[in-house]
């Protein structure tokens, strides 16, 4: 059994989620303690609970301590199985945080699988669903992933109620992701939406984002307004994408009560501008979220990022506790180069049974 100190490094919910998905993929039991010890409200929150239960369902795991506010769990995985699953987060817990945990396990199960997930699609402190769909997934598609996400309904804080359906087919091992050279910018697109709010808000958000990107050739942001039949609650978000020949960079912002639309749009625009000017091949959030897929690839991967977050550093440490993979992180001028080298041999062949 792997013993994982949940207070290590960044010490948040991502360490817990990644621990259980790695246990499910490898078949190794895990004991995670000091869960979210560095947070003001330590222990399992509802969205972390749903993520753990989702992965447990995919592999018929035996668990101990899986309850709200628990600071310690034991997770003993069984075999991964396909089929249809329903994962309600409850309230506005993040759909994408559940997806972060469940998707790699679903890809490894060796059978077709469908997941229905309900909760918050666009909430603070989590990637908006559109970032997951239009930035992260295309990167994983390029590695050979076969997954499709259908958005049925958006949901916001505090009610949640958003609904997505995810279809996944077996696809491991993945191809390596090689993004080791900065490329020129091909174009900038974006998408801003609001739900059950005055239409002028989405225009103000988009215009502020475009103002921050006005020095680049013809950026374009599409607009969409959803009503009560298409979304639960009031909310919105903006996603911006910089397109390159072999990669894309993303930046996003989620609407918050009391925060002006102009500020949200400008923040997303500034972040994307920084990513473009840095010469990075992955933005700082994609650099964090793509690591587990690099560890499940059939060869060495590489990318450049302008910053390695504490989330990413913690994830690298954790991946090396479970999988035969080694990461090398080096400073290269004003960028950080990350190499991931899976060590395929008799020890790793069980991953693709």
Helix (H) or strand (E) holding 237: strand 235-243
Is-contact 55 87, C-beta < 8 A? no
Instruction: Give every CB contact of residue 333 below 8 A, 6+ residues apart in sequence.
Output: none
Q: How far apart are CA 132 and CA 31, in angstroms?
A: 29
* Chain CA centroid to CA 118, Å: 16
* 335: phi then psi, degrees, rounded to nearest 5: -115, 165
Is 100 annotated as ligand-binding? yes
> Is 48 one of the catalytic residues?
no
Q: How far apart are CA 308 and CA 302, in angstroms?
A: 14
Q: How far apart are CA 152 and CA 134, in angstroms?
A: 16
Residue 134's SS3 state is helix
Catalytic residue among 193, 311, 334, 339: 311
DSSP 297: B
Instruction: Give every CB contact of residue 126 below 8 A, 6+ residues apart in sequence.
Output: 47, 94, 96, 97, 120
Is 289 annotated as ligand-binding? yes
Q: How far apart are CA 160 and CA 90, in angstroms?
A: 7
Helix (H) or strand (E) holding 83: strand 83-88
Q: How far apart are CA 152 and CA 119, in angstroms?
A: 12
Helices (H), ranges, the chain: 13-26, 46-58, 95-108, 129-131, 137-141, 200-212, 261-278, 284-289, 291-295, 310-322
Is 285 annotated as ligand-binding? yes
Q: How far apart are CA 73 and CA 48, in angstroms?
A: 12
Residues forming the active site: 311
Write out the binding residues: 100, 285-289
Write out the binding residues for ATP: 100, 285-289
């Amino acid at each position: 059994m792997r013993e994982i100190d949940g207070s290590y490094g960044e010490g948040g919910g991502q360490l817990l989620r990644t621990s259980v998905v790695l246990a499910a993929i490898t078949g190794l039991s895990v004991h995670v303690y000091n869960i979210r010890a560095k947070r003001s409200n330590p222990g399992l929150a509802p969205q972390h609970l749903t993520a753990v239960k989702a992965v447990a369902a995919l592999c018929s795991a035996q668990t101990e301590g899986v309850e709200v506010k628990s600071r310690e769990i034991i997770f003993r995985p069984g075999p991964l199985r396909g089929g249809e699953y329903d994962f309600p987060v409850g309230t506005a817990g993040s759909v994408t945080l559940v997806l972060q945990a469940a998707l790699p396990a679903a890809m490894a199960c060796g059978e077709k699988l469908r997941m229905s997930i309900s909760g918050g699609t666009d909430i603070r402190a989590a990637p908006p669903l559109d970032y997951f769909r239009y930035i992260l997934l295309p990167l994983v598609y390029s590695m050979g992933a076969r997954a499709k996400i259908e958005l049925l309904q958006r949901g916001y804080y505090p009610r949640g109620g958003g609904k997505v359906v995810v279809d996944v087919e077996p696809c491991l091992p993945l191809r390596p992701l090689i993004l080791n050279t900065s490329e020129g910018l091909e174009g900038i697109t974006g998408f801003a939406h609001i739900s059950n709010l005055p239409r002028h808000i989405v225009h103000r958000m988009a215009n502020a984002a475009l103002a921050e990107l006005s020095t680049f050739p013809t950026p374009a942001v599409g607009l969409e307004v959803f009503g009560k039949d298409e979304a639960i609650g009031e909310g919105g978000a903006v996603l911006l994408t910089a397109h390159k020949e072999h990669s894309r960079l993303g930046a996003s912002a989620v609407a918050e009560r009391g925060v002006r639309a102009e500020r949200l749009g400008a923040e997303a625009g500034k972040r994307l501008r920084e990513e473009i000017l840095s010469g990075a091949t992955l933005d700082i959030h994609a650099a964090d979220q793509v690591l587990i897929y690099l560890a499940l690839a059939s060869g060495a991967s590489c990318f450049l990022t302008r910053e390695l977050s504490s989330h990413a550093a913690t994830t690298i440490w954790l991946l090396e506790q479970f999988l035969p993979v080694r990461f090398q992180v080096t400073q290269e001028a004003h960028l950080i180069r990350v190499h991931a080298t899976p060590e395929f041999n008799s020890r790793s062949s069980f991953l693709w049974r």
